[in-house]
Amino acid sequence: MSGYAGKRIVVAMSGGVDSSVTAALLKEQGAEVIGMTMQIWDYSAYAENHPDACGSCCSPDDVHDARRVAEGLAIPFYVVNFEDAFQREVIDRFRADYLAGRTPNPCVLCNQILKFELLLRRARELNADYLATGHYARIDGEGDRLALRRGLDENKDQSYFLFPMTREQLPLVLFPLGTMTKAEVRTHAVRCGLRVAEKAESQDICFVPDGDYVRFLEEHEDLSHLGGDIVHVDGTIVGRHNGFYRYTIGQRKGLGISWREPLHVIGIDAARCRVIVGERRYLDTMACTVDRVNWLIDVPQKTLSCTCQIRYRHAGVEAELIPLDDGKVKVHFAVAQQGVTPGQAAVFYADDRVLGGGWIA
Amino acid sequence: MRQIYLDNNATTRVRPEVLEAILPFYKEQFGNPSSVHWAGRAVTGAIEKAREQVAALINCSPAEIVFTSCGSEGDNMALKGTMEALQNKGDHIITTTVEHPAVLETCGYLEKAGYAVTYLPVDADGMLNLADLEAAITDRTVLISVMWANNETGNLYPIAEIGKIARKHGIRFHSDAVQAVGKVPVDVQTANVDLLVISGHKLGAPKGVGAIYIRRGTKLTPFMHGGHQERHRRAGTHNVAGIVGLGLACELAGKEIDLVWGRVKELRDRLEQGIFDNVSEIKLNGHPTERLPNTLNVSFAYIEGEGILLNLDMLGIAASSGSACTSGSLEPSHVLGAMCVEVSLAHSSTRFSLGTDTTPEDIDYVIEKLPPVIQRLRDMSPLYNCGHTDRCETCSVLTK
């Protein structure tokens, strides 16, 4: 990292180790660092019903931690309120996706709308030169040829979540941890005396701290009308389910069906409230359509080869991309893929560079 | 960096004289005033002196003052204590849509417990129509609760007239006067109030102390049970230092009310004029004249209050976007909502509340620094650039 003396940098602080180290390192390099934490979820309302729920990513405890870290670093610290946008852009869409038979990825939306639109705007309003986050990803290159790349720590790489970033945003954003391993980050945390050095990773979806998204959906509204048939691909009705949103592509357990071979969920037909099941071979998919594609390179006019990653912990597969109209792309996998799930993101890489990505239709 | 504090409706600096006066009560005068021995006796007198000082400021008898921990406690005590004490007489409260959360949330709690509450609306200036009040009164009404001055807009309500109406109907009258006491003359006799709530830290006393005026003969079920302090009306060991501070702050405020607040009003008007002269497309929230002398609440079209506050803070200027108790919450101010201020304008509201220590230089600094901040934020605002004000596709992120 080069020095940032004289630069004003807003750091998105979540109260965790990564963003705390990000702030500490930038301060060490002479930047004028301002900490900001997004308040995105009204925990007071949630806590009334869930007294034991102590959140993961932006809970009151984390706001407290972020504030204390900022105090320790002697930097200004602000809590900005994005509850409204979070509800509309992340939670409402999370629900809508499930109720349309898709399996959503709310973290991508949170990054896209909350961090790199709203928080970046707050940073710009404060005359900041950059917004920095603790993501494990890299931005390099010159001028308007900047490239978004995977973080060097293979286990932590978070570039998958960042594909909706725009080329206008890249020059305004810093990922100081992109060249480090998690172990190095923890070492820095200890060296800088950060109180959160030992803090555990956050894992769950922050607004579903117990991981029980079915309960989360059902608490909000009566979904009992979304029950229906479980249907084999050959058309045989093989069972009943009480809510198709409870099922995910690839799922085998919990179907409650006796059949010659193990059955998996291979599709969800929300319009007819049907869960489609079939033998394992039916999960094999050679192609899919990806829509709302965002490109971090010039929009390709012809077929393009890449490595395609179809979920966060997916190793990636060689694929051919055929640009279609309306921002869509047809993806042909070189090898059959299982668990190609509508609602998840498909992200296109060339080596470690993010070329673009979109949403599996 | 220069520090300019214009958030005195949130809290005030402890006055130096007050700090000086309370320090002995953290040192040699440490006794519990309820003790009979020398250590207790040494502080009992101090508490009674403070009671006289508070009583003098609002023109009541010292015996009618009960010390509390804060304004919210006073409001809770007044509302819950009244409804319980008068449950054989009725079950209906009349209040307003613009009260502090300490009143509104307590009313909400009482509604859940089975009481009926009428919330009087306000007009675009935030003022009440007293005909609405008369119309709301039923034979079940036992309490009217109207704030003396609004914390967000500074609006002053016609307490004496409301008191007359309450008296005429034999209804108890409570006023949350947290923002008024020390800033404008408050006289419980001419105002006909039965219960009146004061908070220490709004007028130069420390946080953690308040008082409630309970008119002699007013039956109130205790809220805090325990020892016999405050004649069984409020249990709990006295916050001796806080009470001493509140007493002195009240005495000082009484002496200065015309002089200092005339000067503060001049500075407030200078700020208001300076902002209106230098920034276009803005709106004053609140009544143009029937307002606390220290409060100015302005909305700046196209931008969000949060952005304004952060930028002002970076310049050393402390202001607020409404009540400190609701900052960080999603909803635009309920007060501006009740005044039917457009949502996007309500989101951009900024409150400046001056103090006795505000100087002309402070005001000129704000008048110099604020307009470029507003312009820069507007230049970045999708709302400003697309030329729409509400419900626009381009700027849907910012509007509802």
β-strand pairing of B295-300 with B317-318:
unpaired
How far apart CA A21 and CA A217 sit, in angstroms, is 35
Residues with Cβ within 8 Å of B115's Cβ and at least 6 positions away in sequence, in order, are B83, B91, B92, B93
Average pLDDT, chain A: 91
Strand partners, B283: B299
Predicted ipTM > 0.90: no
Q: Which domains does chain A have, with CATH numbers?
A: 8-191 (3.40.50.620), 226-282 (2.30.30.280), 285-360 (2.40.30.10)
Alpha helices (H) along chain A = 17-28, 43-49, 60-73, 83-86, 92-99, 106-109, 120-125, 182-191, 213-220
pLDDT given at position A136: 97
pLDDT digits (tens, 9 = 90+) for A78-124: 999 888 899 999 999 999 999 999 999 999 999 999 999 999 999 99
pLDDT, position A49: 54
Cα A75–A77–A80 angle (5° rounding)? 160
Torsion of CA B369, B371, B375, B377, to 10 degrees: 60
The pLDDT of residue B396 is 35
Residues linked to residue A332 through DSSP beta bridges, in sequence order: A287, A320
Chain B positions with Cβ closer than 8 Å to A: 306-307, 310-311, 313-314, 328-330, 376-377, 380, 397, 400
The nearest CA of chain A is from the CA of B190 a distance in Å of 42
Asked whether the beta carbons of residue A125 and residue B377 sit closer than 8 angstroms, the reply is yes
Q: How close B10 comes to chain A (CA, Å)? A: 18
Low-confidence stretches of chain B (pLDDT < 50) are 323-329, 391-400
pLDDT tens-place string over residues A214-235: 999 999 899 999 999 999 999 9
Query: How big is the A-B interface in CB pairs under 8 Å?
Result: 37
Task: Give residue A47's pLDDT.
Answer: 53
Catalytic residue among A57, A58, A110, A288: A110
Candidates B307, B330, B397; nearest CB to A125: B307
Asked if B163 and B191 count as a contact pair (C-beta separation under 8 A), the reply is: yes
B70 is catalytic: no
Asked if A118 lies within 8 A of B314 by C-beta distance, the reply is no
Cα A81 to Cα A166: distance, rounded to the nearest angstrom: 23
- Of the listed A57, A58, A192, A206, which one is catalytic? A206
What are residue B318's DSSP bridge partners? B5
In angstroms, rounded to a whole number, what is the distance separating the alpha carbons of residues A354 and A159? 7
Q: Which domains does chain B have, with CATH numbers?
A: 4-9+257-386 (3.90.1150.10), 16-253 (3.40.640.10)
Q: Which of B306, B329, B376 sits opposite A80 (nearest CB)?
A: B306
Checking if the pLDDT of A34 tops 50, the result is: yes
* Chain A residues with CB-CB distance to B306 below 8 A: 80-81, 122
User: Which among B312, B314, B348 is the top mutation candidate for probing chain A, defined by the most A β-carbons within 10 Å of its own β-carbon?
Assistant: B314
pLDDT for the residue numbered A42: 67
The DSSP bridge pattern shows strands A147-150 and A137-140 to be antiparallel
Residue given tokens 């996007």 in the structure block: B344
Cα A267 to Cα A248: distance, rounded to the nearest angstrom: 8
Selected for mutation to probe chain B from A77, A81, A127, A131 (highest B CB count within 10 Å) is A81
pLDDT tens track for A310-344: 999 999 999 999 999 899 999 999 999 999 999 99
pLDDT in tens, A50-85: 544 444 445 667 888 999 999 999 999 999 988 889
B330: Cβ contacts below 8 Å, ≥ 6 apart: A42, A81, A83, A84
In this predicted model, what pLDDT tens digit does every residue of A176-198 receive, in sequence order? 999 999 999 999 999 999 988 88
pLDDT digits (tens, 9 = 90+) for A264-302: 999 999 999 999 999 999 999 999 999 999 999 999 999
| Six token digits for residue A213 | 């998204």
> Taking the model in full, what pTM does it have?
0.85
Cβ pair A81:B307 closer than 8 A: no
Which pLDDT belongs to residue B397?
A: 33
